[in-house]
Structure 1
Amino acid sequence: MSRDPRPRIAYQGEPGANSHIVCRQHYPDWEAVPCASFEDVFAVVEGGDAELAMIPIDNSLAGRVADIHHFLPASSLHIVGEHFLRIVFNLVAVEGATLDTIRTVHSHVHALGQCRRVIRELGLTPVISGDTAGAAREVSEAGDVTQAALAPPLAAEIYGLQVLRTDVEDEAHNTTRFVVLSRDLVEPPPGEGPMVTSFIFNVRNIPAALYKALGGFATNGVNMTKLESYMVGGQFVSTRFLAEVDGHPADPALARALEELAFFTTEVKILGVFPASPQRRS
């Protein structure tokens, strides 16, 4: 059987997952390719079986997606875009189930944590699944009116489930930011609207190294929108930082700040330069 001739974008999760929804919204003419793990997503794109990857990197409630911060530095992929998705969870079950028949609710651990109110109100027992769409599939396959799932609307559609209650997430601002990854470095020219530069760096193990490394951004008026630290190789004396700033590396102010950063670090790696999503401001 011949392969779908459309370009391919890979995502982690099963069909109907939030990552799948973002792919359909922003790449409707592409074939969305589900992968079991983030590692598989990176491998598919690096190996040439897909042109792009859609990866969640931050959530407004749960914070950073930890695994991604370990895959990105070692990867040969580049960030070429970002998209934001307002996360919506529906309480879904098989035909014939009602709010009175369900006893358990299946979903990803983060989804269960973000929908505590409805779980408590209905007295349901939470059951952890690998992902939200997978939970919907499991409930569909079980055909049991005592089981429900917390899943995105697309998952209910794909797996033929009925919606018992919509928008059951605890917080209305629940939003996930996704980044698009490519094998090719696609860096838009400066001056074409608001840009974001994402990079990682390791500071020298000396007093005030981080303070000095970041000083150039302050003195040059560069706005830093993200700064996160994590350990490198299990060493407590080696810390890597992931940062994002407004601007393009070719902008004079950011160029000076990055030059100053290099004096106080052992490594600086640009992960990507990409247009800022209009949803950043909202």
Structure 2
Amino acid sequence: MDTRMTTAPLRVAFQGMPGAYSEQACRERLPGGEYLPFKTFEEVFDAVDEGRVQLGMVPVENSMAGVVSDSYDLLAIKDLHIIGEYFLPVRHCLMAHRGVSLEQVRKVYSHPQALAQCQGFLKRQGWERVAVYDTAGAAEDLSRNGHPHEAAIASELAAELYDLEILARNIQDSRRNTTRFLVISKQGKPLDPQIESVKTSLLFEVRNIPAALYKCLGGFATNGINLTRLESRPVAGKDWSYHFYLDFQGRPDHEPSQLAIEELGFFTHSLKILGSYPEAPKPPEDPDPQAGEEGA
């Protein structure tokens, strides 16, 4: 009798259809897991909060489109922890039914941001553009209902999952198109003391006093701490009040960080450490020589 223990795969929630860029981030950052799609960001956070999954993978910002406000708003109201980050290069692909050529395409479907990020390529083609709710959803709809003159813009993973042929790769206007994801968990994760590059995320609400934000940030400057992100969002139920999300390089238990956080506390109504985690490297610029290359 085989008595060896088998470990169940890590269950990871993401927002969107199977084949979404969020699932691609899951596969690359957390290989070997079970990746579960949810329709909304709130459902992802709820699944983590209620223990139905161990982790969630949520986007928080894109280098071209900016902040993903839903993720930041949910971090403020849910008692979850950030335990990791990941930078995913966004490589948009044009896909259609097998046997369809680029010359046959007349109409293309995708999420509004994907269409905007591929504006140069689409303008040269002169196709009609149709905005839909999701890149992977556009691929899935095309696989079931599409016609030979229709195509979708989505990830290479979506083309694989929905048995579509890639007509052109890397059709985005910017080679630096990158989305930053956070890995969220119900429980915090102890940091390996050997890890040198660490990032810490804070959430705070400033007091209503003159130069409050300036004073909040002063302690980081005087203690030589580098800030990598500062984002403001309205506080739910409090008109004209704002939360600030701040990322800095360092551990909260190191003396310079402790002094900066202590000074920050003097000028805030509330202060919460969302998590400390290894700082992820940003991807290098895409080395491919030509955007919009035809698929093999």
Fold match, TM over 0.5?
yes
Of 204, 207, 217 in structure 2, the residue corresponding to residue 201 of structure 1 is: 204
Q: Decide whether the 8 Å contact of 2:88 with 2:283 is kept in 1.
A: no
Q: Find the counterpart in structure 1 of residue 21 from structure 2.
A: 18
Q: Deviations over 1:5-29 (max 9, x none)?
A: 4220111111111111111112222
- Select the residue among 201, 216, 220 that pairs with 2:223: 220
Equivalences for residues 1-282 of structure 1 within 5 A: 5-190=8-193, 192-233=195-236, 235-279=238-282
Q: What is the CA RMSD across the aligned residues, in angstroms? A: 1.6
Residue 182 of structure 1: how far off its partner (Å): 0.5
Q: Distance in 2 between matches of 1:209 and 1:26?
A: 38
Asked if the contact 1:190–1:251 (Cα under 8 Å) also holds between the matched residues in 2, the reply is: no
Give the Cα–Cα distance (whole angstroms) in 1 for the partners of residues 46 and 194 of structure 2. Answer: 33
1:281 and 1:49 map into 2 onto residues whose CA distance is 35
Cα distance in 1 between the residues matched to 2:152 and 2:61? 23
The superposition leaves residues 36-94 of structure 1 with CA deviations (integer Å, 9 ceiling, x where unpaired) of 11111111111111000011111111111111111001111100001111110111011
Q: Secondary structure at the match of 2:240?
A: strand
SS at match of 1:16: coil
Whole-angstrom distance in 1 between the partners of 2:51 and 2:233: 30
Q: 1:186 to 1:12 in 2, by over 3 A?
A: same
Conserved 8 A contact 1:55-1:180? yes
Q: TM-score, normalised by structure 2?
A: 0.90
Q: Which runs of 4+ in 1 moved over 6 A?
A: none
Letter in 1 for 2:35: A
Q: Which amino acid aligns with 2:135?
A: T
Instruction: Write the distance in 2 (CA, Å) between the matches of 1:131 and 1:122.
Output: 22
Q: Distance in 1 between matches of 2:202 and 2:192?
A: 18
Name structure 1 gaps, 5 residues minimum.
none
| Identity among equivalent pairs (%) | 44
Report if the CA contact (8 A) 2:89-2:283 is conserved: no
Given that 1:220 and 1:253 are in contact with CA atoms closer than 8 Å, whether structure 2 keeps it comes out as yes
Tell me the secondary structure at the aligned position of residue 242 of structure 2. Answer: strand
CA 1:38–1:216 in structure 2 vs 1: closer, same or farther (change >3 Å)? same
Distance 2:268 2:146 in 1: 57
User: How far 1:97 moved relative to its partner?
Assistant: 2.1
TM-score scaled by length of structure 1? 0.95
Structure 1 residues 209 and 281: CA distance shift in structure 2, 3 A: farther
Amino acid aligned to 2:266: F
* CA offset digits 1:129-160 (Å, max 9, x no partner): 11111110111111301111001001001101
Contact 1:187/1:272 (8 A) holds in 2: no
Q: Contact 1:205–1:237 at 8 Å: present in 2 too? A: no
Deviates more, 1:44-53 or 1:19-28: 19-28
Counterpart of 1:237 in 2: which secondary structure? coil
- Hey, what's the Cα distance between the residues in 2 that align with 1:76 and 1:66? 17
